């Protein structure tokens, strides 16, 4: 309000004066002159209320139950339809189709998850029962299980493994350009490592599986006194080399007790779902010139982990999911 004007006294002024007075009082929040002129015209026509008139929304004809049912039936018949295809068929906008799908039917579009194979009910039951038996063995004596447990697996390690897209993420300012990265592939040079590991993370590498088992027994005897006496719980996946007569005989000769591994279950191999992904994440983006450098880097990674790292190999998701595949 203009401080020069006294309250209680009626002044005659133009719309421009009213607008200027509002600007002086409200600053940037003041309405425009055209708005003031519109208000004045309304009051001249007899308007007395200061509140806005009630607004009546246009009826949402696009999302009537008939269209909702039609969209739902179309999606149930063909789950790969695009929003554009549905909108053209029903005769409504893509925005309305999206509203029906997400808010009315509660549906969302997702990509299929790759699995090693479609499991039959019998295969799911085998996975479930085997996982329950192994879990019961662990829960009966967790510390004793980890002292006796020993896992084996093989993995290719490249001289150069490119970083994943997630690993290359970085912070940037809104005005900064998005960083670019050339697409690269894993190097041709690579080393096959055969890893034996337990709850303390020791590793032994070699070439031939049967000979490795015998070397492993000697290493256990010298490095972990008492482990053979307690009995080694030996885990391996169902690769053909592991199931061959020579390998099975070597396991028996070494006195190892095999921990069952259900068929078609790479998601339940501790090395595949835990050890190797963490190892490759650590090696990604680094360049190694020779096989010896690769082997040294792998050994440094394993030796650099504390004991708690290796006790994370046990999980119960397969039991919780009723034998279905476990997402990594």
Q: How many CB atoms lie within 10 A of CB 226?
A: 9
Q: Tell me the pTM.
A: 0.49
Task: Please report, for residues 155, 166, 192, 218, 287, the alpha-carbon distance to residue 185 in angstroms, rounded to integers and kept in the order given.
Answer: 17, 16, 18, 39, 12
Task: Please report, for residues 44, 128, 159, 292, the alpha-carbon distance to residue 278 in angstroms, rounded to integers and kept in the order given.
Answer: 77, 26, 17, 20
Q: Return mean pLDDT, the chain.
A: 79
pLDDT digits (tens, 9 = 90+) for 51-67: 777 765 555 566 688 88
* Residue 272: partners with Cβ closer than 8 Å, 6 or more residues away: 153, 237, 266
pLDDT number for residue 179:
75
pLDDT digits (tens, 9 = 90+) for 100-149: 898 888 888 887 777 778 888 898 888 888 888 888 888 888 888 877 88
Task: Tell me what the mean pLDDT of segment 311-326 comes to.
Answer: 70
pLDDT number for residue 108:
86
Give the separation between CA 230 and CA 178, rounded to whole angstroms: 57
Structure tokens at 59: 């009826």
pLDDT number for residue 202:
47
pLDDT number for residue 149:
81
pLDDT number for residue 214:
86
Give the separation between CA 20 and CA 4, rounded to whole angstroms: 14
* Residue 186: partners with Cβ closer than 8 Å, 6 or more residues away: 158, 160, 161, 162
pLDDT digits (tens, 9 = 90+) for 170-222: 777 777 787 776 666 677 777 766 676 655 544 443 346 788 888 888 888 88
- Report the share of the chain in percent with pLDDT over 90: 3
Q: Who wins on pLDDT, 85 or 57?
A: 85
pLDDT number for residue 201:
47
pLDDT number for residue 12:
65
Q: Who wins on pLDDT, 135 or 323?
A: 135
Q: Which residue has the tokens 């490592």?
A: 193
- Whether the Cβ atoms of residue 147 and residue 230 lie closer than 8 Å to each other: yes
Give domain limits for the chain.
Answer: 1-46, 61-104, 121-167+184-320
pLDDT digits (tens, 9 = 90+) for 240-288: 778 888 888 888 888 898 888 888 787 777 777 777 888 888 888 888 8
Task: Please report, for residues 29, 38, 40, 179, 211, the alpha-carbon distance to residue 16 in angstroms, rounded to integers and kept in the order given.
Answer: 17, 13, 11, 53, 99
pLDDT number for residue 281:
86
Identify the DSSP state of 268. Answer: G
Q: For residue 197, is it left (φ>0), alpha (ψ between -120 and 50) or beta?
A: beta
pLDDT number for residue 67:
87
Task: Name the class of domain 121-167+184-320.
Answer: alpha beta
pLDDT number for residue 325:
77
Give the separation between CA 139 and CA 145, rounded to whole angstroms: 8
- Whether the Cβ atoms of residue 266 and residue 116 lie closer than 8 Å to each other: yes
Task: Tell me what the mean pLDDT of segment 4-16 comes to.
Answer: 63
- Whether the Cβ atoms of residue 166 and residue 250 lie closer than 8 Å to each other: no
User: Which of 30-34, 134-138, 182-186, 304-308 is predicted with the least confidence, judged by mean pLDDT?
Assistant: 182-186
């Amino acid at each position: 309000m203009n401080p020069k004007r006294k309250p209680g006294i009626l002044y005659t002024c133009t719309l421009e004066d009213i607008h200027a007075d509002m600007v002086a009082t409200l600053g940037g929040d003041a309405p425009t002159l055209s708005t003031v002129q519109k208000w004045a015209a309304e009051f001249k026509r007899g308007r007395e209320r200061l509140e806005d008139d009630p607004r009546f929304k246009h009826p949402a004809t696009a999302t009537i139950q008939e269209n909702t049912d039609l969209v739902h039936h179309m999606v149930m018949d063909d789950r790969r339809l695009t929003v554009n295809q549905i909108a053209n068929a029903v005769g409504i906008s893509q925005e309305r189709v999206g509203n029906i799908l997400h808010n009315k039917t509660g549906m969302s579009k997702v990509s299929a998850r790759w699995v090693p194979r479609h499991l039959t009910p019998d295969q799911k039951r085998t996975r479930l029962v085997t996982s329950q038996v192994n879990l019961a063995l662990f829960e009966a004596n967790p510390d004793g299980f980890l002292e006796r447990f020993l896992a084996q697996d093989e993995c290719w390690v490249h001289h150069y493994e490119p970083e994943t897209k997630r690993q290359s993420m970085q912070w940037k300012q809104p005005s900064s350009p998005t960083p670019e990265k050339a697409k690269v592939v894993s190097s041709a040079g690579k080393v096959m490592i055969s890893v034996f590991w337990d709850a303390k993370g020791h590793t032994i590498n070699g070439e031939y599986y049967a000979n490795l088992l015998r070397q492993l027994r000697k290493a256990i005897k010298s490095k972990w006194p008492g482990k053979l006496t307690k009995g080694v719980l030996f885990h391996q996946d169902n690769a053909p080399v592991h199931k061959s007569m020579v390998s099975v005989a070597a396991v028996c000769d070494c006195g190892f007790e095999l921990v069952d591994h259900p068929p078609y279950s790479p998601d339940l191999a501790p090395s595949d779902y835990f050890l190797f992904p963490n190892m490759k994440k650590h090696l990604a983006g680094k360049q190694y010139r020779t096989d010896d450098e690769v082997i040294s880097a792998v050994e440094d990674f394993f030796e650099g982990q504390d004991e708690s790292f290796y006790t994370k190999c046990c999980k119960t998701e397969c039991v919780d999911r009723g034998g279905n595949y476990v997402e990594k």
